[in-house]
């Protein structure tokens, strides 16, 4: 083959190597040939898009649900023959480098993300057409970050305040005449990637059984296509609390560290959204379904920072009356 190498590369605009709305996306296309070749068309494209697809069985048939949307699409013609198909443009032998520049639209677009049944991608593609039977292609994806500080709701002072507030929930479960009460408190609603958040649980065990709290980080992905929706959830156990014996009350705090690579919460995509929850369950309660409490958690884009509050030790030994 005369075309020995074809590649497309971009220039980084920051230390992270990410791009955002309004940034200049520049780079180069490199082609190496063993001899002079004729070209019908040689171009580079920049594209941002979202696509979701999944299938389900309806009776005896498999129904595929699919939807996609382009956020932007640009083409830069490097070489193109004057008369369509005559191959009048020439690329000389050896290494040939062609620069390009695009401006990413300054509009609200979701960050790069890949979920169970859909993904948001931003890419550069190049295509070198020598003839209808001889086409060379290559592609590279570049990471994209939204500029929206809160890509899940309109920015307002009330939202900012709510993200910093403590949240609290209570669940009481009965087994016959026996009762187990669980109170769960988290330090705040919003936390940045790489940060940590303290989650406290108080268990008042008035039953005759030993119960054990477990702490989970829950991820919820929602996809939409053709008026249909599908949800994928994933629970990650991040801590197991101390066992609470019968007729004992105990309070404990666990620290949940948010992985810096975990994707932030987002709602600024019509076909998919990403949410998180803190879920606390009680193992050992003799019910068909273990009692649980879910508290919303908003993960924000940010650099890793050490958690300032030190984890508390478990507190117990309070005998319940009766």
Band the pLDDT of 317: cuts 50, 70, 90: very low
How do 248-257 and 196-205 pair as beta strands? Answer: antiparallel
CATH, residue 133:
2.60.40.640
Average pLDDT on 1-25 reads: 92
Mean pLDDT of the chain: 86
146 part of a folded domain = no
How far is 265 from 221, CA to CA, in rounded Å? 10
In this structure, the answer to whether residues 235 and 300 fall within a common structural domain is: yes
Query: Whole-prediction pTM value?
Result: 0.83
- Quote the pLDDT of residue 85: 56
309 part of a folded domain = yes
Give 218-238 pLDDT, tens digit per residue: 999 999 998 899 999 999 988
Domain total of the chain = 2
165 part of a folded domain = yes
In this structure, the answer to whether residues 137 and 191 fall within a common structural domain is: no
150 part of a folded domain = no
- Plot region of 317 (φ>0 → left; ψ -120 to 50 → alpha; else → beta): left
Give 129-175 pLDDT, tens digit per residue: 988 889 999 999 999 999 876 776 555 444 555 677 888 888 887 77
In this structure, the answer to whether residues 71 and 109 fall within a common structural domain is: yes
| Full domain range(s) for residue 219 | 157-319
- Quote the pLDDT of residue 152: 64
Judge whether residue 202 has pLDDT over 90.
Answer: yes
Judge whether residue 304 has pLDDT over 50.
Answer: no
How far is 156 from 154, CA to CA, in rounded Å? 6
- Plot region of 17 (φ>0 → left; ψ -120 to 50 → alpha; else → beta): left
Give 64-106 pLDDT, tens digit per residue: 999 999 999 999 999 887 766 566 788 999 999 999 999 999 9
End of a domain among 141, 166, 185? 141
Judge whether residue 305 has pLDDT over 80.
Answer: no
In this structure, the answer to whether residues 99 and 244 fall within a common structural domain is: no
In this structure, the answer to whether residues 294 and 239 fall within a common structural domain is: yes
In this structure, the answer to whether residues 257 and 301 fall within a common structural domain is: yes
In this structure, the answer to whether residues 195 and 311 fall within a common structural domain is: yes
- Residue 278: its H or E element: strand 272-283
More confidently predicted of 126 and 149: 126
151 part of a folded domain = no
How far is 222 from 215, CA to CA, in rounded Å? 23
In this structure, the answer to whether residues 266 and 165 fall within a common structural domain is: yes
């Amino acid at each position: 083959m005369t075309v020995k190498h074809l590649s497309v590369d971009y220039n980084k605009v920051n230390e992270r190597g990410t791009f955002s709305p309004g940034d200049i996306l520049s780079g180069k296309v490199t082609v190496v040939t063993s001899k002079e070749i004729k070209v019908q068309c040689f171009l580079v494209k920049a594209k941002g898009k979202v696509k979701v697809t999944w299938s389900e069985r309806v009776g005896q048939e498999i129904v595929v649900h699919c939807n996609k949307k382009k956020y932007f699409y640009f083409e830069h013609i490097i070489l193109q023959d004057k008369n369509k198909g005559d191959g009048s443009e020439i690329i000389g032998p050896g290494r040939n480098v062609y620069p390009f520049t695009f401006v990413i639209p300054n509009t609200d677009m979701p960050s790069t993300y890949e979920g169970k049944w859909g993904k948001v991608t931003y890419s550069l593609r190049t295509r070198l057409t020598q003839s209808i039977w001889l086409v060379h292609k290559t592609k590279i994806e570049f990471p994209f970050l939204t500029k929206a500080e809160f890509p899940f709701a309109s920015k307002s002072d009330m939202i900012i305040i709510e993200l910093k507030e403590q949240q609290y929930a209570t669940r009481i479960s009965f087994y016959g005449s026996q009762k187990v009460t669980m109170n769960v408190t988290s330090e705040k609603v919003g936390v940045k990637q790489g940060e940590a958040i303290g989650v406290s649980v108080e268990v008042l065990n008035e039953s005759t059984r030993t119960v054990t709290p477990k702490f989970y980080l829950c991820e919820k992905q929602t996809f939409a296509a053709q008026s249909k929706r599908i949800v994928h959830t994933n629970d990650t156990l991040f801590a197991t609390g101390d066992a609470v014996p019968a007729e004992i009350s105990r309070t404990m705090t666990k620290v949940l560290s948010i992985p810096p690579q975990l994707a932030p919460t987002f709602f600024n995509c019509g076909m998919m959204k990403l949410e998180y929850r803190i879920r606390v369950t009680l193992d050992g309660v003799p019910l068909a379904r273990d009692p649980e409490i879910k508290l919303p958690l908003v993960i924000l884009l940010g650099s890793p920072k050490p958690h300032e509050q030190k984890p508390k030790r478990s507190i117990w030994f309070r005998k319940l009356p009766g």
